Amino acid sequence: MNSYMILLLALSAMGAAMLGIFQRWRRSREVPADGAPGLIPAPGEDSVAVDQYLYDRCCRYMTERRPFLVETFTLQDLANAVFTNKLYLSRTINRFSGKNFKNYVNYYRIMYAMELFRRNMCLHIAELAGLSGFRSETVFLRNFKSVMGEPPSQWCSRIRKKFSKNR
């Protein structure tokens, strides 16, 4: 084989390797619609860090976009929003929050209901349930007590008293 052939083969192999590296680099720099960088871990990157990053993106999405206000919000909807699959997302939520997806969403709904009540203490419990994405008042009551350790009526009374003392 002459030296030109060897040089040509070496350059071809190097070009293919460079193309692969470039494509991986480009995918890792893609920016999804929510503005966060892609979730492709760098070689040797810790999977716990990637999982934590995904969980943080979910929490930020839930807080900023409030998709939980839609009664029919699903795990697939969240997975689509953060560009991952629902099995991986479900495991990540369980791992970092200690909750399954339904409880994770209901936690955000309860926090939102509490925020609504603090802004407008004239709201009734049925109104809080509907405005925070719950399908029924019964489901709201059960989940509120599970998250807060007391029924919403008791919590609302306590907040009203605290507010009237501070006036």
Dump pLDDT digits (tens) for 94-107: 999 999 999 999 99
* Across 39-53, average pLDDT: 71
- 151 is written with which tokens? 């029924």
How far is CA 136 from each of CA 67, 112, 122, 142, rounded to the nearest angstrom?
A: 17, 16, 19, 10
Q: Tell me the C-alpha distance between 26 and 38, whole Å.
A: 10
Q: How does residue 139 score in pLDDT terms, banded at 50, 70 and 90?
A: very high
Q: Any idea where the domains of the chain sit in the sequence?
A: 104-165
> Would you state the pLDDT for residue 166?
77
* Environment class of 89 (CB within 10 Å of its CB; exposed 0-12, middle 13-18, buried 19+): buried
Q: Tell me the C-alpha distance between 116 and 128, whole Å.
A: 7
How far is CA 120 from each of CA 26, 94, 149, 160, rounded to the nearest angstrom?
A: 48, 33, 22, 10
> Would you state the pLDDT for residue 24?
56
> Would you state the pLDDT for residue 137?
96
Q: How does residue 48 score in pLDDT terms, banded at 50, 70 and 90?
A: confident
Q: Which CATH superfamily is domain 104-165 in?
A: Homeodomain-like (1.10.10.60)
